[in-house]
A = this chain, B = another copy of it.
């Protein structure tokens, strides 16, 4: 039975990527060895890493001066690494609190210095993006989360700052056109639009590093990883390879402009149903709605059993909302076809 995978992450990946990834486990590159049993320093794997890094630079139109890293530990490790590498001794950082992940990020930063929470939408259960705040000029950096997976909100514009701008882009990188050069550091767990869990993308301007006065353990030091081309220690070979395949797929498709168009179409279709069908109500403020994670609920909870059954019979997977919001969440990452959204909308029409 064909499944329609709306999982929030780990999430759907392109079928052709899954096929190639599966093949590589048995015989990589026609070498009669598995991808996961060859040396990460072999010519074939070094080529994979180089290709992945170059695809990131190409897809995001990154100019010289940005280093691209594939690390481990997920965005959660970046919560502390960004602070460790950028917050000066006795320094201060500014955070925008737009949800669970922002909130976890700033909690870790507090171990390294003063954290100034410029604005928070916690008062309304994180259903909007705060907009009126001033970035203090003495902050070592400003940190934002571009898309809030759990609540279904997304930053449409980013703050202007005189200092450094850091962005957790885990759940919407490679999904929409943005001027990526407005950021000094971007990080993203792979497991949404890029690949399987286990790799973390970090994009960082070389020139901002090494200025904190801190001694940083090697594995947490961006400069160490840059110096070794993401091979300071054994990289997560399979996750990097599968990410490379997904980036290649996106590039072949026409890059971010092409996927943005598709993502807008998919989101428009579902939001239109939510707004026109009295059986459903959206969670996020309209102007801040995410194109990636669409949160909604039934207006009558008595319809729940019926709707869940319909979804189940239609092969819809991963629609349950996060426990902190409840209701439903349709995650519509790059690899989700429009057809799957159409199937969901058809079931919604039956309520």
Q: Which residues of A contact B (CB under 8 A)?
A: 1-3, 5, 7-13, 18-19, 21-23, 25-26, 31-34, 36-40, 72-77, 79-80, 104, 107-108, 111, 189, 191, 195-199, 215, 217-220, 232-239, 242, 317-318
Contact = CB atoms under 8 A, between A and B. Distances in A.
Contacts of A80: 217-220
Contact of A72 (B10, B19, B74, B217): B74
Nearest to A233: B76
Give the interface centre of A191, A234, A237 by most chain B CB atoms within 10 Å.
A234
A217 B7 contact: no
Given A36-B195, A111-B217, 13 more contacts: A8-B39, A9-B39, A9-B234, A18-B34, A18-B37, A22-B26, A74-B234, A79-B219, A80-B220, A196-B237, A197-B237, A198-B239, A238-B238
The 3 A-B residue pairs with the shortest CB-CB distance in the complex, in nearest-first order: A198-B236, A36-B196, A22-B25
Work out how many copies of this chain go into the complex.
2
A5 B33 contact: yes
Contacts of A23: 22
A10 B39 contact: yes
Contacts of A21: 25, 36
Contacts of A233: 73-77
Contact of A238 (B9, B34, B74, B198): B198
Contacts of A76: 218-219, 232-233
A292 B237 CA distance: 22
Contacts of A75: 233
B239 A236 contact: yes
Nearest to A110: B215
Nearest to A218: B108
Contacts of A72: 72-74, 77, 198, 236
A184 to B, nearest CB: 21
Contacts of A317: 33
25 contacts: A1-B32, A3-B33, A7-B39, A9-B39, A10-B36, A13-B34, A13-B37, A18-B25, A18-B37, A19-B26, A22-B23, A39-B318, A72-B236, A73-B219, A74-B233, A74-B234, A77-B219, A77-B233, A79-B217, A80-B220, A107-B218, A111-B217, A191-B234, A198-B198, A239-B239
Nearest to A19: B26
Give the interface centre of A22, A191, A198, A242 by most chain B CB atoms within 10 Å.
A198
Contact of A234 (B104, B189, B195): B189
Contacts of A107: 218
Contacts of A218: 76, 79-80, 104, 107-108
